[in-house]
Amino acid sequence: MPTGAVVALAAALITPAAVAGPATAAPAAGAVTAATAAAAPDIPVANVKAHLAQLQSIATANGGNRAHGRAGYKASIDYVKGKLDAAGYTTTLQTFSYNGSTGYNLVADWPGGDTSHVVMAGAHLDSVTGGPGINDDGSGSAGVLETALAVSRAGLKPTKHLRFGWWGAEEYGMVGSKNYVNSLSSADRSKIDSYLNFDMIGSPNPGYFTYRYDSALDALFRDYFAGLGIATEQDFEGDGRSDHAPFQNAGIRVGGLFSGADYTKTAAQAAKWGGTAGQAFDRCYHSSCDTSANIDDTVLDRMSDAIAYAIWTLSAGDTTPPSGTVFENTTDVQIPDNGAAVTSAVTVTGRTGNAPAALQVGVDIKHTWRGDLVVDLVAPNGTTFRLKNSSGNDSADNVQTTYTVNASAVPANGTWQLKVQDVASQDTGYIDSWKLTF
């Protein structure tokens, strides 16, 4: 996981504690049945740790790291590819160039399943130059790899098509995953029903964090851990800092798990999860001590099992998108270049009480430099939720994503507004459409 946040995807007003309440999810989005729960295998943590031992050995033999452009990274890719080739996957090695060095992504497709409905999971395989990167992100890479191998051992015949990815140069700003997403045609992007990201799942002072961006995928993981008697929190530390961001920015539903990086564990979190309050979730984050000794076996085991649970559940699920009551405005609204904010209104009627804690806000803004944009949702009572901040580092086009907002404190009925302001010059665009899904 890179150090700096690249995209601010949610406001401080959307608090983890508030959003962590029960979410309303349609069964088609991956609701769990007894059959799918029973079908998901237990992932042997010893197998996951064996992969980590190999990555540690690779780093030790190659200057102490597995970073982009270094021999340790290519050896890591070769190790994962060899395992997948032997297990019957169709593997593709995608190359790209960054900082004068060749980078590599590895994509593995499991034969069968409906290729117009793809369930994808991934993790970044590179480390920083200053250490072997065994938790960040050998842990996620190993968990995804062992889940992929479990698919092969089970001879799984999923309804949807399964695809796994290992990304390069994430530590330089998700370079590999951006290259992969950008290499896809719009038709191929639309075939990916969901992308699940796993960046750091073995932190030594662990937390149990779920990605909050899609309410149904978030609920899938929260419900899984609730079944183990483990309360989760929604992740804010990883906003825009890992490989889910390029997928999300392309309009693909994303979910995932995270055990914490350099944020400090609070007393409340230590009471809930164990560990040490007042210390970072991973004190070796981006350091030379991020070795095979920098792993908590219990969280690694549980999160690896959760990866398999999600893969088995989603790949067997219905291909119908999440349902719900939708209120939409499709009228184009021009956004003045470096000018005043504009609004687009949606009137909600027929609801009872307050809005949900997982109100989905689907946004489609066409713009030539989305980093110029500040986007807010304004509730009928005037409460404002910051969906997106401006960012000089966010140079891509368009804002096409779904935000999840805890709007449970405001009335549902009334006029809601999407408020957009362009705060810098030279780029233009318009609100194409937006919608609220209750």
Q: How far is CA 408 from the centre of its chain?
A: 24
What beta strand segments (E) does 352-413 contain? Answer: 359-367, 373-378, 384-388, 399-405
- Pairwise CA distance, residues 403 & 436, whole Å: 10
φ, ψ of residue 35 in degrees (nearest 5): -65, -45
* DSSP element (H, E) containing 32: none
Sign of the torsion formed by the C-alpha atoms of 29, 32, 35 and 38: positive
> Could you give the angle at which helices 140-154 and 297-315 cross, rounded to 10 degrees?
50
* DSSP element (H, E) containing 311: helix 297-315
- Pairwise CA distance, residues 412 & 285, whole Å: 42
Number of Cβ within 10 Å of residue 410's Cβ equals: 18
How many CA atoms lie within 13 Å of 177's alpha carbon, on the beta-carbon side? Answer: 32
Residue whose C-alpha is closest to residue 55's, from 306, 309, 305, 295: 295
- Pairwise CA distance, residues 285 & 294, whole Å: 9
DSSP state string for 158-200: -SEEEEEEEESSGGGTSHHHHHHHHHS-HHHHHTEEEEEEES-
Is 170 considered catalytic here?
A: yes
Tokens of 172: 């330089």
**Helix-strand-coil split of the chain, %, nearest 5:** 30, 25, 45
Q: Which of 146, 170, 171, 233 is catalytic?
A: 170
Q: Give catalytic residue positions.
A: 170
